[in-house]
Structure 1
Amino acid sequence: MREAIVSQLGRPGDFLVGDTAFHVTVAPMPAVYEKCKRNIEDGFRVYLLVPDRSLIGAKQNAETVAPGKITVESIEPFVGQNIEELSVFSKTLLPFWGQRCQPRRHKHSVFLKYMTYFILHVLQLRYNKNQSKELKG
């Protein structure tokens, strides 16, 4: 369903940072791999972020669809690696985000997906800000 919505919006993935399309899913289905394949054909680099429990299968499926072309990573380390940097980036955003998405109110996988979306959104904003500076500078 989400893949259909992303396709209707004309976006290459859940997030686009530079020339890299990021797809985030807690349950990788065939449609997301086909979307990744189309992204590659359109000249994008592709990251597929999945829960750790789905990592091995997702990597195998990605290799079948587009050998060596789709970077598949676990959501958990992705969030962990970026959360410290973001806490320095904004002391006000993270507490607000934590209040909105308390793990006790959500399934673990849904919480990780929300955190991943948040991190990618901030990375996307940073990239756009840097691009604007380069154009002005």
Structure 2
Amino acid sequence: MLGIFGMLLAVLGAFLLISVVGALIMTLIGVAYQRKKLDKEPVVTVHASVISKREKPIYRRENSSAKNNMIVRIIYYATFRTEEEKEIELSVTKEEWDLLAEGDEGELTYQGNWYQEFEKNRKKSLCQEYS
């Protein structure tokens, strides 16, 4: 009896290991594909202004009660409006998010949906400091 139970555990363990390794490989292939696709996009620099910012909390569900959910991490987004009236929402780091304010104007550099840099217009920033 223990021999059959041991074999079942070994098969289950092997199945779980293969599943985890397979999922990891598929994730890595997906990330590499997205990165390759993104690298084909041109790097664009445009004059833009910050029109809004938002946070998106990612929760880990403890149980079915919404009260017991825990925030695992927060994704920060900034929405920019270009001179051509195009609105672009990009994920930014917490540090960048803290530095950006609605109404800031400057040069936005991005590639596809990947935020690279926002260099504020110095004249506007100086005016805000003294107001």
Asked if these proteins are the same fold (TM beyond 0.5), I'd say no
The structure where helix makes up a greater share of residues is 1
TM-score (norm 2): 0.21
- Structure with the greater alpha carbon radius of gyration: 2
